[in-house]
């Protein structure tokens, strides 16, 4: 196997949660471009259909399942595995967050963040991990955040920060426990990326989000996606339990 061949995902079967927009869409496209067959699991049926249509026109092997993983993560994972005929790669990307100071965070907001960012990820990982264990291994890539490493400015978002720190620690815990099963578990920690969830263009955020970044800019989702391909591929065969920071240098200061 050559160096470039080690990055190939030809013949691999991948599931991406929340893969119909933003970072998740970029991850789905990148995995498919690398040769994987990809199933997206996300709630919005119309957005699913639009994403699958667009990526299919590019010649990419992508399909979608409409499901709310906060309610039926294991059933959705089982459906994806049945459609794919197995599972080699799981990208736990679905996430939600709110800007709200601690005094004003409601129980509903807190529960919503942890239900999506942590509990659903946990259930998808266990369901997908069982299949990987039975078939000789696989790769799980969790989407954490620099918010699990630092406290963001100027907005307050304690629930989101705590949830992403939990994702990082869960990544390490599962990596240690499942290494003997041939399952690698890693996470990425993106910085500020231009998506619907991160309003990077708003003037009130520029001072702290852009000017405090050594590279003096935000990222595009397509810049983050190759790292997911890398962690899912044989090129990362000796990497597990790592949190790969992709932030333009933001956390250096």
* Residues with catalytic roles: 160
**Whole-number pLDDT of residue 201:** 85
Q: What percent of the chain has pLDDT over 70?
A: 100
- Right CATH for 9-252 from 2.40.160.20, 3.40.50.620, 3.40.50.720, 3.30.1180.20: 3.40.50.720
Give pLDDT tens digits for 136-150. Answer: 999 999 999 999 999
pLDDT-derived band at 199 (thresholds 50, 70, 90) equals confident
pLDDT-derived band at 131 (thresholds 50, 70, 90) equals very high
238/146 Cα distance (integer angstroms):
23
pLDDT-derived band at 159 (thresholds 50, 70, 90) equals very high
Model confidence, pTM: 0.97
pLDDT-derived band at 198 (thresholds 50, 70, 90) equals confident
Q: State the average pLDDT over residues 227-232.
A: 98
Answer yes or no: is pLDDT of 197 > 90: no
Q: What percent of the chain has pLDDT over 90?
A: 98
Q: State the average pLDDT over residues 55-61.
A: 98
242/109 Cα distance (integer angstroms):
29
């Amino acid at each position: 196997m050559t160096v470039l061949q080690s990055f190939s995902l030809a013949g691999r079967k991948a599931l991406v949660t929340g893969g119909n927009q933003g970072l998740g869409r970029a991850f789905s496209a990148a995995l498919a471009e690398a040769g994987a067959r990809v199933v997206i699991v996300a709630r919005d049926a119309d957005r699913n259909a639009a994403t699958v249509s667009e990526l299919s026109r590019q010649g990419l092997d992508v399909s979608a399942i409409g499901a709310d993983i906060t309610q039926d993560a294991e059933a959705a994972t089982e459906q994806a595995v049945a459609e794919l005929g197995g599972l080699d790669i799981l990208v736990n990307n679905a996430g939600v967050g709110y800007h709200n100071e601690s005094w004003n965070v409601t129980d509903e907001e807190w529960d919503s963040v942890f239900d999506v960012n942590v509990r659903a990820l946990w259930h998808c990982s266990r369901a997908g991990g069982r299949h990987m264990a039975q078939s000789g291994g696989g790769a799980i890539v969790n989407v954490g955040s620099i918010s699990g490493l630092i406290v963001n400015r100027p907005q307050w978002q304690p629930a989101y920060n705590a949830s992403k720190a939990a994702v990082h620690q869960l990544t390490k815990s599962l990596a240690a426990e499942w290494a003997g099963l041939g399952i690698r578990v890693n996470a990425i920690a993106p910085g500020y990326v231009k998506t619907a969830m991160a309003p990077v263009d708003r003037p009130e955020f520029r001072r702290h989000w852009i000017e405090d970044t050594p590279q003096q800019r935000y990222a595009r989702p397509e810049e983050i996606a190759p790292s997911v391909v890398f962690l899912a591929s044989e090129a990362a065969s000796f990497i597990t339990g790592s949190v790969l920071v992709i932030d333009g240098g933001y956390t250096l200061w």
